[in-house]
Structure 1
Amino acid sequence: MECHGLHEYPTEWRAALPQGNNKTAICVKKDTLSVAIRSSEENRRGDIFTLVMTIKGISFGKANKYLHNILGLKYSYSKSDNKDNKKDPLAIFKKVKRQRYTIDKDVPVYDDSCMKEYTDLPYIDWVREGVMPFACKRFNIGYSYDRKRIVIPERKWDGDDNEYIGISGRTTVPNYEMFDIPKFFKLSKTYPKGINVYGLNENYQTIQEAGYAVVLEAQKSVLKRYSRKDGTAVAIGNCELTEEQVRILISLNVEIVVALDEGIDINHIRQECDKFYPIRKVSYIYDRWDLIKKGSKDSPADMPNKVYNFLLKHRVLYDESERRKLRDWQERQVKN
């Protein structure tokens, strides 16, 4: 990348930026490849992807492909042909056989044209809830008038800005349960959410600089945090992490903060934390002060900044004492 003045030390490499003279501006640790860039032009912390993004001025997805090319690694995906993405009028009546979760590396990837039939317009009720138009624009949120659904495209976590693994639609029909209308419905070919982490593509750089990622359940929760100028949140689309999502989050080399919705049992939260321990520093947000209304099933991200930041500040570190509490609970479950 045209850095110069490269010098190797016992635990790190030092170098100057391409247009700089400070030969210690770049510091890359040998054990983790963590990166610190300190100069009059740049002041960033992160990983090797951060270094490429900074020097080349490109997105995380493009930096990922760039590094694959340098290292001679294969980077491939199945590009979807939108012409073949025809609607099946009987799809709603077809039963889907539930299978053990598997990772399909050949999941189709769509480009921006997949959104052309939807209106580029924020949904007013979401705006009232705190999802700002600039957040909708960043995450390419749209609206479908004929389906009465908010259109939520899901970017491939390690792809370019215009690479999506699919689109889901959230209904705007009041009392949708009474009419047997699903809250969420896939507007593209079915894709397993468990292979992706929503918001990571958009928030990668901020997460690296902050040194932690807050793992939420819902996509809207990520949008709310981004609307409050907080780019450290991601969503898993469930209250349980898949093996692939754990692998993705571990690869970030940052603290993982598990922040599930109100009402989730604390031992379930500990089980999710245990998936990262002791490989990564992991903690969880738990409302011990009843700041979130009981029975509301609200996310910590739904709270005002003052409450959210308080809960984040007082998050619980998952350590050996927490692990013992989990093991004791699991033993009691077995006995019962």
Structure 2
Amino acid sequence: MTPQDLKEYIYENDKVDFVLNEIGCHHIKLNKNKEYYSCGNVDGDNPSCILAFNDKYLNVINYTREEYFRKNSTFSPDIFTLVQYNLSRDNKNFDFSDAIKYLHKLFDLPITFKKETKKEKKIDPLDVFKKVIRNSTPDYEDLADINEIEQMDYIPFIHIDLFKEGITQPTIDEFGLAYSNIHKRNIIPLRYWLDGKLLGYNMRTVIPNYDKFGIKKYFITPTYPKNQNLFGLWENKKYIQGKGYVVVYEAEKSVLKRHSRLDKTGVAISGHSLSNEQARILIGLNVDIVISMDKDVSINEVRYICEKFYGIRNVYYTYDKHDLLNPKDSIADAPKKIYDFIFKYKIKYDETEHKKYLKSLEEKEV
């Protein structure tokens, strides 16, 4: 189940009080209109400082732990925030992802990345891609199904071009990188941040002048839910929490390059738009957040992303104010000295930055 599916399951099966009891809340009472449960904190003696709303959203108000609940929620705190708080009393490393896993295990339910739907007639998700390939060159006919990498033409190596960009063998092994000789593409497996489940692939062509042949530069599995995932978090999570910060890049390749340089603090959002779910996942890590978009992303777009964390987590952004990068580069593409320089002088998104962002919005309205 997805996190929202899980909340709906708990509500529809009248399991809210069961969860509250299991995580150590006390004096659990359902109000007379059945709109919410009141209870006390696992580490407190106030019998009614918590309100857990009895609906499919399971939002929670904790009047005596407001700061923690505000800092550990993107929007409204909910049952996951309460589980995280209660169980982190005995295990300080217990985080948002652990809370989701705990509740799934409590009810013996499977974790999934997309909302469960009724089975419908099977549609080939690669049909559009196959048509492009068939119309471009005969060497690319009969594209294989990529639901599992074992069914593909691939070798567990990378093309020389990617190797020249600095991707090393330990990174190839850690991320399961591969190469398709038939399709002339480097293959990057995309795994779910929570449990490592394979969700799809990003495959990048190595053919020169690919656009003249009608070939796409990138092909990402159409069903990949990029707005609900962060590439590299599954592989890098322990290192990120040990370092106390996470660096958010646009592209998967940036994460791979930094990993090859023994910097395992990176994740990628697969674009330059950060979804609310991705923001929530990052907040749940309980570490500082460094936004590092490519150079061609405007400062206002960067500040818009930072706004999602302002007042909740320490958030910074990198900015090439000395014009050291090429027009579309990530700092991960830069040599070590340039990367270290830009990263050292990253900008904290504080009240001053917040006011600059608000001012830019006012100027747009004029």
Give the TM-score normalised by structure 1.
0.70
**What is the CA–CA distance in structure 2 between the aligned matches of 1:242 and 1:168, rounded to whole Å?**
19
**What is the CA–CA distance in structure 2 between the aligned matches of 1:312 and 1:67, rounded to whole Å?**
36
**What is the CA–CA distance in structure 2 between the aligned matches of 1:326 and 1:215, rounded to whole Å?**
20
SS in 2 for 1:169: strand
1:322 maps onto 2:353 in alignment: yes
1:190 aligned residue:
223
> Is the CA contact 1:64–1:158 (under 8 Å) kept in the aligned structure 2?
no
For residues 97-136 of structure 1, the aligned pairs below 5 Å read: 113-117=148-152, 118-136=154-172
The structural deviation recorded for 1:280 is: 1.2
1:179 maps onto 2:174 in alignment: no
Alpha carbons of structure 1 residues 72 and 233: separation in structure 2 relative to 1, 3 Å: same
Alpha carbons of structure 1 residues 88 and 319: separation in structure 2 relative to 1, 3 Å: closer
Alpha carbons of structure 1 residues 176 and 91: separation in structure 2 relative to 1, 3 Å: closer
**What is the CA–CA distance in structure 1 between the aligned matches of 2:175 and 2:251, rounded to whole Å?**
14
1:248 aligned residue:
281
For residues 150-169 of structure 1, the aligned pairs below 5 Å read: 150-160=186-196, 163-169=197-203
2:181 aligned residue:
145
The structural deviation recorded for 1:172 is: 0.6
Q: Deviations over 1:242-286 (max 9, x none)?
A: 111111111111111000001221111111101111111111000
The structural deviation recorded for 1:87 is: 7.4
1:33 aligned residue:
88
Q: Which stretch shifts more, 67-76 or 150-159?
A: 67-76
1:309 aligned residue:
340
Structure with greater Cα Rg:
2
The structural deviation recorded for 1:93 is: 5.6
More helix as a share of residues? 2
> Is the CA contact 1:256–1:281 (under 8 Å) kept in the aligned structure 2?
yes
Which residue identity is paired with 2:160?
Answer: I
1:279 maps onto 2:312 in alignment: yes
The structural deviation recorded for 1:313 is: 1.6
The structural deviation recorded for 1:73 is: 7.0
1:213 aligned residue:
246
Alpha carbons of structure 1 residues 143 and 35: separation in structure 2 relative to 1, 3 Å: farther
Which residue identity is paired with 1:266?
Answer: I
SS in 1 for 2:224: coil
Which residue identity is paired with 2:88?
Answer: L
Which residue identity is paired with 2:313?
Answer: R
SS in 1 for 2:248: strand
SS in 1 for 2:279: helix
Q: Deviations over 1:277-318 (max 9, x none)?
A: 11111110001222213x2x1100111222212211211000
SS in 2 for 1:198: coil
Identity percentage of aligned residues? 38
Give the TM-score normalised by structure 2.
0.65
Count of residue correspondences: 266
Alpha carbons of structure 1 residues 265 and 140: separation in structure 2 relative to 1, 3 Å: same
**What is the CA–CA distance in structure 2 between the aligned matches of 1:90 and 1:184, rounded to whole Å?**
13
**What is the CA–CA distance in structure 2 between the aligned matches of 1:301 and 1:135, rounded to whole Å?**
15
> Is the CA contact 2:249–2:266 (under 8 Å) kept in the aligned structure 1?
yes
Q: Deviations over 1:215-235 (max 9, x none)?
A: 000100000000000000000
Structure 2: 5+ residue runs without aligned partners? Answer: 1-41, 45-83, 115-121, 133-145
For residues 55-70 of structure 1, the aligned pairs below 5 Å read: 67-68=102-103
Alpha carbons of structure 1 residues 90 and 302: separation in structure 2 relative to 1, 3 Å: closer
Q: Which stretch shifts more, 176-185 or 130-139?
A: 176-185
2:295 aligned residue:
262
Which residue identity is paired with 2:159?
Answer: Y
**What is the CA–CA distance in structure 2 between the aligned matches of 1:87 and 1:268, rounded to whole Å?**
32
More strand as a share of residues? 1
Q: Deviations over 1:182-213 (max 9, x none)?
A: 11113x45223111100000000011011110
Q: Deviations over 1:38-73 (max 9, x none)?
A: xxxxxxxx72269xxxxxxxxx9xx77863466547
> Is the CA contact 1:68–1:75 (under 8 Å) kept in the aligned structure 2?
no
The structural deviation recorded for 1:76 is: 2.6
The structural deviation recorded for 1:34 is: 8.5
SS in 2 for 1:327: helix
